Amino acid sequence: MAIRKTEKAGPYTIHNTVKIIRGGAAYYSCIDEIAASATYSLHFQTYIFDEDETGRRVADALMGAARRGVLVYLLLDAYASQRLSSIFIATIKEAGVHFRYFEPFFKSRNYYFGRRLHHKVLVADGSVCLVGGLNVSNRYNDMPGAPAWLDWALQVNGDVAAELDRVCIRMWNRGLFTSKCLATQNPKIEHKEHCLVRIRRNDWVYNRTEITKSYYEIFGKATEDVIIMTSYFWPARRLLKSMEVAARRGVQISVVLTGNADVPLAKYAERYLYNRLFRNKISIYEYTGNVLHGKLAIRDHEWLTVGSYNLNNISAFASVELNLDVADNTVAAALRKLVTNVIAQECRQIKRDDFTASGNIVKRFFYFLSYTSIQALFFLFTFYFSQRKRRS
Return the domain boundaries, the chain: 16-177+186-197, 202-381
Q: What phi-psi label fits residue 45: left (phi over 0), alpha (psi between -120 and 50 degrees) or beta?
A: beta
| pLDDT tens-digit series, residues 129-160 | 999 999 999 999 999 999 999 999 999 999 99
| Whole-angstrom distance, CA of residue 31 vs CA of residue 302 | 28
pLDDT of residue 354: 83
Nearest to 280 by CA among 303, 306, 254: 254
- pTM here? 0.89
Element (DSSP H or E) covering residue 27: helix 24-37
Element (DSSP H or E) covering residue 93: helix 86-94
Same topology, domains 16-177+186-197 and 202-381? Answer is yes
pLDDT of residue 392: 32
Superfamily name with CATH number, domain 16-177+186-197: Endonuclease Chain A (3.30.870.10)
Angle at 116 between CA 112 and CA 119, to 5 degrees: 155
Backbone angles phi, psi at 25, to 5 degrees: -60, -35
| CB burial readout 227-260, b (16+ within 10 A) else e | bbbbbbbbbeeebbebbbebbeeebebbbbbbbe
pLDDT of residue 126: 94
| Whole-angstrom distance, CA of residue 304 vs CA of residue 281 | 22
Backbone angles phi, psi at 383, to 5 degrees: -100, 130
pLDDT of residue 387: 35
Q: At what angle do helices 86-94 and 53-67 cross, to 10 degrees?
A: 20
* pLDDT tens for each residue of the chain, 392 residues long: 333 333 334 589 988 999 999 999 999 999 999 999 999 999 999 999 999 999 999 999 999 999 999 999 999 999 899 999 999 999 999 999 999 999 765 545 555 556 789 999 999 999 999 999 999 999 999 999 999 999 999 999 999 999 999 999 999 987 655 666 666 655 556 666 789 999 999 998 788 999 999 999 999 999 999 999 999 998 988 999 999 999 999 999 999 999 988 888 888 888 889 999 999 999 999 999 999 999 999 999 999 999 999 998 888 877 899 999 999 999 999 999 999 999 999 999 999 988 886 766 777 777 888 878 877 666 555 544 433 333 33
Q: What is the CATH number of domain 202-381?
A: 3.30.870.10
Distance, C-alpha 390 to centroid of its chain: 24
